[in-house]
Amino acid sequence: MRAVISAWDSFWFAPLDPRVPAALRIGYGLLGLWSYAGLWPTLAWSLADGGLGTGVGALGPDVVNLLANPLWSLTTLGEVQAAFLVWMACFVALVLGVGGRLPMLGAWLGILTLGERNPLLIDGSDGVLRVLGLWMLFLPLNAAWSLSRPDPDATEHTRWPLRMMQLQVCILYVKTGLIKALYPTWQDGSAVFYAMASPKYWRFPMEEILASPAFQGFTVLATYATLVFELGFPLVFVPRLRRLWLLLGLGLHLGVFAFLSLGAFSEVILWSYLAFVVFPPSRRPSP
Amino acid sequence: MRAPQTPIGRGLLSFTLSLLLLIVVDFVAPDGDTATTRIPGGGEVLGWLHLKQRWNMFSDPGPRGAFVESLGLTADGRTVQLIPSMEPPDGPFLRLGYDRMLKVHNALGHEKPGSKLAQRYARWLCAQSADPLVSAQVVKVALKRPTMAQWRGDPDAVTKKTRVLLAEVSCAP
């Protein structure tokens, strides 16, 4: 019993390598800039008054919404543009590691606002940044690789927020694997083919490739391999399999990225793998 | 954030986190994607923490699809495309960036004629032309692509297209 309690305690509360949250922080900042800076020319229709927003913002803010998210009060194009610039500055601050926890809070709040004000716009990558962003708020983000002063308490931080991120990624994969397994196209091996046959996601014309028997055979293999990978993702917690599973995921998502334009999903999910990375011991104490 | 130092504090925190994960697992359970939880109050907790989630991407890709045409009728009788459709050759070929209008069009692709979203989008289209418009139309082009076997048997197999008028509004001021 004591061994179980000790293992449980160690799972949640073992000391945290500050380089892991630092890598996550820098990645979150870069991904935010990569994924959202392109929204600037669309703000008039995507988030401001008179656009296509269908969320609460489009109906006018009320007291509850304003308490939950003060950004609801900003609705004109000028206000939205100003808030957007502050949002981008938060991502830059995350890359640099300055400003304490405020940039992370601002970056996360901006993602919430985007989804709530115009749910039509968001996709899985925004969802990953939102749910993992919550746990990022509890990590010592600037304890390494930052321009901030070194955190004197850096060595006292424990892993529980990182564990929540890791388990959340597992839930994502297993859930999507389970629901896929219910559908005929995943059962008969044709799902990846049909996903690739959707021209609106193509990065380049694919008619000839899709007609190739060899490529079609590959897509059947890829369909079943995707199911095995996703359903088996919890194996990432087995130390001897962690690297293999992460490499399989890298191959899967780079393959998707090469063929299909799915927003920033491939980049965001690969960023989440940083939560599983074990860095080699450093030769000198982290700054 | 530093963890509680006492065994009781650590036990309480880890129990709470585990319970939260259990609610998330229940919320995303593959029971038809109802996005609800059987745990009393669980949905509210996830809502407060902004942890509601769905992970059903490409859960059911198949031969059917749709794209949307955003059309305006000018005073001189011309029909102009106001927003590029997301289908080749207007699609996102060789773009590293991401046009989120694709998400709007994806949503419209699931709409029925006369829906609120289609009407709203059509009214918005009226303001998207430098030339005065008489009316704006939102047309869904439903696609039925060749199946994998059909494509293998005939590389020139064609995609069947069916046009459906989702909304038409007058652009008169």
Closest Cβ opposite residue A138 in set B1, B24, B88:
B1
Nearest neighbour of A203 by CB, restricted to B1, B93, B107: B93
B163: number of Cβ within 10 Å: 9
Shortest distance, CA A172 to any CA of chain B (angstroms): 6
Bridge partners of A15?
A158
Which pLDDT value is given to residue B158?
80
* ipTM reported for the complex, 2 dp: 0.89
State the Cα–Cα distance between residues A48 and A43, nearest whole angstrom.
6
CA distance A174 to chain B (A): 9
Q: What does the pLDDT read at residue A119?
A: 86
Nearest CB neighbour to A131, from listed B53, B86, B87: B53
CA atoms of A126 and A138, how far apart (whole Å): 19
> Which residue from A minimizes the CA distance to B94?
A203
Task: Give the distance, in angstroms, between the CA of residue A231 and the centroid of all CA atoms in the same chain.
Answer: 19
A121 CB neighbours in chain B (<8 A) are 100, 103-104
Residue A57, pLDDT score: 47
pTM of the entire structure? 0.92
CB contact under 8 A, A9 and B88: no
Which of A129, A135, A194, A221 is the best mutation test for B, with the most CBs of B within 10 A?
Answer: A194
> Between chains, do B3 and A158 touch, taking CB under 8 Å as contact?
yes
SS3 string of A158-226? ECHHHHHHHHHHHHHHHHHHHHHHCCHHHHCCCHHHHHHCCHHHECCCCHHHHHCHHHHHHHHHHHHHH
d(CA B133, CA B167): 15
With CB atoms and an 8 Å threshold, state whether B24 touches A171. yes
Residues of A in contact with B92 (CB under 8 A): 200-203, 261
Non-local CB neighbours of A276 within 8 Å, separated by 6+ positions: A166, A169, A236, A242, A246
Asked if B42 and A197 touch (Cβ cutoff 8 Å), the reply is no
Flag residues of chain A having pLDDT under 70.
54-72, 152-155, 283-287
Per-residue pLDDT, A58:
47
Nearest neighbour of B98 by CB, restricted to A172, A202, A264: A264
Q: Residues of chain B whose pLDDT is less than 50?
A: 32
| Interchain CB distance below 8 Å, B102 and A200 | yes
Of B20, B24, B97, the CB nearest to A38: B97
Inter-chain CB proximity B33 and A179 less than 8 Å: yes
